[in-house]
Amino acid sequence: MDKLAIIGGRELYGELRISGAKNSALKVMAACLLTDGKLILDEVPDLADARQLLVLLENHGVQWTREGARLTLDAGTITSTTAPYEIVRKMRASFNVLGPILAREGQAKVSLPGGCAIGARPVDLHLDAFRAMGADIELEEGYVLAEAKGGLKGAEVEFPFVSVGATEHVMMAATLAKGTTVLKNAAREPEIVDLGDCLRAMGAKVEGDGTDTITITGVDRLEGTTHEVVADRIEMGSYAMAVGAVGGELLLERGRRDLLGTAAAVMEESGLTLKEEERGLRVSRWGTPTVSTSVTTEPYPGFATDLQAQYMALMAKGDGEATIKETIFENRFMHVPELRRLGADIDVDGRTATVRGVKRLKGAPVMATDLRASMSLIIAALCAEGQTMISRVYHLDRGFEKLDDKLRSVGALIERIKDED
């Protein structure tokens, strides 16, 4: 397992290109299963998760080629409607092949994804929606067996709470259903709009994505198209927070303020300057103190749960006390003990963490526990005195493209220590 060694204290200067969003790329990749035409995707990040999804798509008969950030997917014939446990268990987002396969083939057998470190993460909302659309759903030996003999039918689906994955999943399946599907209390994340853009380009009739009501009128078939994946707002927010923590100035190429939702204003309140430019978002902090500012995670446009851990690292050297409330996942504070090892003063009570800013953090060996938690350790290490050694960086490789190269290119002292085994 690779490790990352970071020597803290160096301000960050220069330009970084923000990659395509992992959480969008994975969904538009799965959308290739809706058509026998070629889907050409640009700005697909080269991440462990994207590679893992390609393994699953290959299992369904998808042929693909990659040239740089361009991925061409061809699901001319779906050769298997079964998504096996051995592949699905490695990445939750792979569950989202169920809807497209069910919509196109009238049946699908997909392994339940199981829980993960940040929470139980059931898929009941997905399955309830497919039932409402006329599918028979059985659970057998850890698999979802879904069947819709005469095809899926349009339905009105009101989600009891906001789910990004369920919104995307049902949106995809509804494009090939008979009639109109209306999704209420839908997620409004930028990745939903990106998926909507891709589906429309494929010939789907989708309206209202980006609002809480999405209307999809089914069509007989979708076609291939070319689509560019939206910039990764979590990568962008993470690098912005790294600048907030250690100081300096970065132009985050392809970055957009609107993608950050309320996190943009929170970062400004905490002392960062954000400026939109033609090529992206410029972020800077010059010697001003980090102002401790409390946040609560919420669905978009609220403060993203995927930025919560990174924000906690920023607050670790704040000028006072900040509370951070996590409302989306029940177990997303695993970075706290590791941040404490670096000298952070943090208490957790249920779903609320209280961060009392300290004057300095000090490098130590720490362990990454999940994707975004790993990034919080990177940010803390960048502003800690001395060396931090981060183990289990495979978590980072799931979701941050070329992280160490990118940070090194803007002045960070970061080195990957390759596992020799």
Ligand X SMILES: C=C(OP(=O)(O)O)C(=O)O
Q: Check whether 96 is labelled as a binding-site residue.
A: no
Interaction of residue 151 with ligand X, rule CB under 6 A: no
β-pair partners for 42: 228
| Annotated binding residue 23 | yes
Binding of residue 306 to ligand X (CB under 6 A): yes
Q: Is 306 in the site for ligand UD1 (CB under 6 A)?
A: yes
Give residue 120's identity as a one-letter amino acid code. Answer: A
Question: What are the DSSP E strand ranges found in 43-106?
Answer: 63-67, 70-74, 82-83
Comparison of 11 and 232: residue with beta carbon closer to ligand X = 232
Report, in Å, the least distance between residue 120 CB and ligand X. 12
**Rounded-to-10 torsion of CA 237, 239, 244, 248:** -140
342 is annotated as contributing to ligand binding: no
Residues 6+ apart with CB under 8 A from 49: 22, 26, 91, 93, 398, 399
Please identify which residue in the block is written with the tokens 């409402």. Answer: 132
Q: Residue 23 or residue 376: which is nearer to ligand X going by CB?
A: 23
Q: Which residue has the tokens 């699905």?
A: 88
Which one of 163, 270, 376, 388 is in contact with ligand UD1 (CB under 6 A)?
163
Closest to 374 (Cα-Cα) out of 212, 382, 285 = 382
The H or E element spanning position 147 is: strand 143-147
Q: What is the rounded distance in angstroms from the CA atom of residue 245 to the CA atom of residue 12? A: 10
Partner interacting with residue 321 (select from ligand UD1, ligand X, none; CB below 5-8 Å by kind)? none
Minimum gap (Å) between residue 232 Cβ and ligand UD1: 11
Query: Using CA atoms, how far apart are residues 49 and 76, in angstroms rounded to an integer?
Result: 23
Interface with ligand UD1, residue 131, by CB under 6 A: no
SS (H, E, C) 355-418: EECCCCEECCEEECCCHHHHHHHHHHHHCEECEEEEECCHHHHCCCCCHHHHHHHCCCEEEEEC
Please pick, among 32, 116, 198, 383, the residue that the annotation labels catalytic.
116
337 is a contact residue toward ligand UD1 (CB under 6 A): no
- Tell me the residue type at 409: S
Q: Measured from the CB atom, is 101 or 371 closer to ligand X?
A: 371
Nearest-approach distance from CB 418 to ligand X, in angstroms: 25
Q: Which is nearer to ligand X, 175 or 374 (CB)?
A: 374
Chain residues 332-361 in contact with ligand X, contact rule CB under 6 A: none
- Contact set for ligand X, span 372-401 (CB under 6 A): 372, 399
Helix axes 371-382, 233-246, angle to 10 degrees: 20
Please select the residue that binds ligand X; options are 38, 89, 90, 92, rule is CB under 6 A: 92
Find tokens 């590679």 and name the residue.
51
As measured in angstroms, the least distance from the Cβ of 249 to ligand X is: 27
Rounded to 5°, the CA angle 213-182-189 comes to: 40
Where in 64-123 is the site for ligand UD1 (CB under 6 A)? 93, 119-123
Which of residues 19, 23, 52, 388 is near ligand X by CB under 6 A? 23
Helices (H), 215-254: 233-246
Q: Cβ contacts of residue 245 below 8 Å, gap of 6+? A: 290, 313, 314, 316, 317, 379, 380, 382, 383
Which of ligand UD1, ligand X, none does residue 399 bind to, with CB < 5 to 8 Å depending on kind? ligand X
In this structure, what token pair is assigned to residue 275? Answer: 């400026």
Using the contact rule CB under 6 A, the part of the chain among 150-158, 162-170, 256-264, 345-353 near ligand UD1 is 162-170
- Which CB atom, from 187 or from 344, has the smaller least distance to ligand UD1? 187
Give the ranges where 224-304 is alpha helix by DSSP (H).
233-246, 263-269
CA-wise closest residue to 204 among 231, 177, 237, 230: 177
Residue from the set 14, 63, 79, 124 that interacts with ligand UD1 by CB under 6 A: 124
Shortest spacing between CB 118 and ligand UD1, in angstroms: 8
**Site for ligand X contains 371 (CB under 6 A):** yes
Q: Which amino acid is at 334?
A: M
* 164 lies in the site for ligand UD1, by CB under 6 A: yes
Asked whether position 329 contacts ligand UD1 by CB under 6 A, the answer is yes
Q: Is 336 annotated as a binding residue?
A: no
Examine the residue annotation and report whether 32 is marked as an active-site residue of this protein.
no
Q: Do the annotations mark residue 345 as ligand-binding? A: no
For ligand UD1, which residue has the nearest CB?
165
Binding site for ligand UD1 (CB under 6 A): 23, 26, 93, 119-126, 163-166, 305-306, 328-329
Residue ranges for the known binding site are 22-23, 92, 121-125, 306, 328
Binding site for ligand X (CB under 6 A): 23, 92-93, 116, 118, 306, 371-372, 399
Residue ranges for the known binding site for UDP-N-acetyl-alpha-D-glucosamine are 92, 121-125, 306, 328
Catalytic residue ranges: 116
